[in-house]
Amino acid sequence: MKKLKIILFLLLAGISFDIQAQELDVNLQIRPRFEYRNGYKTLLPEGQKGTSQISQRSRLNFNYKQDELTVKLTFQNTRTWGDVTPTATADKNGVAVFEAWAQYDLTKKWSARMGRQVLSYDNQRIMGEMDWAQQGQSHDALMVSFHPENHQLDMGLAYNSNAENTFQTPYTVANYKAMQYAWYHTTFDKIGASLLLLNTGYEFSRINNPELIIDYKQTFGTYLTYKAGKIDTNLSFYGQTGKSIDLQVSAWDAAVNFGYNITDSFKAGLGYEFLSGKATNDGSKVIKSFNPIFGTNHGFNGYMDYFYVGNHLNSVGLQDAFLKLNYNANKWQFALIPHVFLAAADVVTPLNEKLDSYLGTEIDATFGYNFKKDIVVSGGYSQMFGSKTMEFIKAPGDAGHTNNWAWLMISVNPRIFSWKK
């Protein structure tokens, strides 16, 4: 607390010499989450037992605005309860900078932002904050935005190195070496339309050749929404091409969601997504499996994270058909989401046996409760009913085992300081 007071004093002292309009807002987030994992992300192997743990995110956010200038600085610590001893002299993960950016509004329609920032667009399928993960996701980037009425065009780029080097050095961080993107959004009547062009370059060197090469992969597509009366629907299509580590890329993703507000409190929806994959007996070197790349993937294809949350890449792809039921009452929110999963490409064993495309059924149930101002309690239970094909894909997992997952999270988000003149 003493350090926080010093920081606030220095900020106020620094800005008090200018009589321009200024705003400073400081808020805090404490978010512990208990999880019981008994087949989470993959089928539990025979003879193994589930586990439980509590993770926590702690964030301190500074938001400052002076006329055309906006600055944000976010410190965070992520931890698992007990990952250091009670008498530890240092934290295992330390304190990291999640966001540190400055934005200047050049005109009412043009702005530029530089620094560590969240890049989140549309339904976050391709580019998102990944807020479920305690560490989140942010990028070191420069972004220019053009935003006249009913239109927005964001253009961004990044170029990464692992240190301030004096000569060419391999980039060893598990990240892109270079990235450029453009996102355009417009609205007309009851329709919203977005276009995304994303170019990511990953550095590598060929075997027995020290030359550093950057292969670029392009992800491009559209996201459309339609809202009218009780109807709320969206559809998207994305393609991927280019190269990745000397291999050609040819993949795609398509999704449609239809929602209907039956009452003010009850909403029902249907959805389907197809992410291209590659048959297990396909000997070509072309990458045919779609990669959601920077997406908030926990929000898609089941909350048990069997697909695309650090897994299931360069695999048989996925078909996901699901139903969404949402009910809100006073301070409560409830949701029930059953999924039916199928492989998008053939699953063939080494003995040339073609397996059924059905992977399994997952049922997700969640709740949220606004306990009081700045405090939200949420939780959920999920169960996976896997198939023999899922066993083959997720070997050595056991589909006969009860594979389930449960969680409970408390998010405390108080504003601890606010100043304006």
CA distances from 236 to 80, 116, 194, 404 (A): 37, 28, 9, 30
Give the separation between CA 32 and CA 218, rounded to whole angstroms.
37
Give the single-character DSSP code of 16: T
Q: What does the pLDDT read at residue 212?
A: 94
Reply yes or no on whether the pLDDT at 17 is more than 70: no
Number of CB atoms found within 10 A of residue 215's CB: 18
State pLDDT tens for residues 280-308.
999 999 999 999 999 999 999 999 999 99
Q: What does the pLDDT read at residue 207?
A: 86
Pairing of strands 251-261, 266-275: antiparallel
Summarize the confidence of residues 122-139 as an average pLDDT. 98
Reply yes or no on whether the pLDDT at 113 is more than 60: yes
Q: Look up tokens 């909350």; give the residue.
A: 303
CA neighbor of 238 nearest in space, from 225, 221, 261? 221
Give the separation between CA 396 and CA 389, rounded to whole angstroms.
12
Q: What does the pLDDT read at residue 210?
A: 85
Reply yes or no on whether the pLDDT at 132 is more than 90: yes
State pTM to two decimals: 0.92
Q: What does the pLDDT read at residue 127?
A: 98
Residues 333 and 364 sit within 8 Å (Cβ to Cβ)? no
State pLDDT tens for residues 58-85.
999 999 999 999 999 999 999 999 999 9
State pLDDT tens for residues 211-256.
999 999 999 999 999 999 999 999 999 999 999 999 999 999 999 9
Give the separation between CA 412 and CA 394, rounded to whole angstroms.
37
Could you tell me the two tokens for 34? 């208990």
CA neighbor of 406 nearest in space, from 373, 378, 386, 385? 378
State pLDDT tens for residues 173-195.
999 999 999 999 999 899 999 99
Could you tell me the two tokens for 332? 């409560």
Continuous segment of H or E residues that includes residue 390: helix 388-393
Could you tell me the two tokens for 315? 């695999």
Continuous segment of H or E residues that includes residue 11: helix 2-15
Backbone phi and psi for residue 153, each to the nearest 5 degrees, phi listed first = -125, 115
Can you tell me whether residue 61 is helix, strand or coil?
strand
Confidence of residue 21 (pLDDT cuts 50, 70, 90): confident
Q: What does the pLDDT read at residue 208?
A: 84
CA neighbor of 367 nearest in space, from 414, 330, 323, 326? 326
Give the single-character DSSP code of 397: B
CATH code of the domain covering residue 292: 2.40.160.100
CA neighbor of 118 nearest in space, from 68, 65, 59? 59
Give the separation between CA 52 and CA 31, rounded to whole angstroms.
17
Q: What does the pLDDT read at residue 122?
A: 98
Number of CB atoms found within 10 A of residue 353's CB: 9
State pLDDT tens for residues 380-396.
999 999 999 999 999 99
CA neighbor of 325 nearest in space, from 338, 316, 313? 338
Residues 250 and 314 sit within 8 Å (Cβ to Cβ)? no
More confident residue, 314 or 208: 314
Confidence of residue 421 (pLDDT cuts 50, 70, 90): confident
> How many domains does the chain divide into?
1
Pairing of strands 403-412, 354-355: unpaired
Give the separation between CA 266 and CA 285, rounded to whole angstroms.
48
Q: What does the pLDDT read at residue 6?
A: 55
Q: What does the pLDDT read at residue 14?
A: 53
Backbone phi and psi for residue 134, each to the nearest 5 degrees, phi listed first = -60, -30
Q: What does the pLDDT read at residue 3?
A: 54
DSSP character string of 161-218: -SS--SS-----SSS-SEEEEEEEEEEETTEEEEEEEEEEEEEE--TT----EEEEEE
Residue 356 lies in domain = 2-420
Give the separation between CA 400 and CA 390, rounded to whole angstroms.
11
Could you tell me the two tokens for 411? 């998010």
Task: Please provide the average confidence, as pLDDT, over all residues in the chain.
Answer: 94
**Amino acid in the structure at residue 360:** G
Number of CB atoms found within 10 A of residue 147's CB: 15
